[in-house]
Structure 1
């Protein structure tokens, strides 16, 4: 199966896509990982979460002006509709993505 482009990933039909821009060496990114797993489990089948390593994909990070990590960007119908830098509590993240589910 060929790898999908970033554009194909964020244009997921019928489902919003939450993108986590992170790096392996980033402490706050490691704090965010279990929160994202919790949110993914709560919204299984209604929300896709993908992770983009900014060290391996600098062009994508630059395209969306990611200046600090973690940065979360929610895409709805291929368009960014919400973004947040830093660690986001699960309750706040659920509330923010809930409007698009």
Structure 2
């Protein structure tokens, strides 16, 4: 079990959802994230940049069929931070019940 630690960077709603989606898979493409979150490219780019800057997300630029794609994955520190954050949220909820 992860050590419960609230992470304000992950806690922002869109970044929390980005981490949750990335946690559930080995990688996710930018376009899929944009569709699932329903936000603009610029807004998504800002959230991704913050997560990359803190070492939580890794970017991989691919070219397929002449089209450039951005693939993202959670780093191991990102996975630990996400697990710790969700554990902290569970503790908060359980304490309130």
Instruction: Verify same fold: TM over 0.5.
Output: no
TM-score (norm 1): 0.28
More strand per residue: 1
| Bigger relative CO (Cα 8 Å, ≥ 6 apart) | 2
TM-score (norm 2): 0.29
Compare CA radii of gyration and give the structure with the larger one: 2
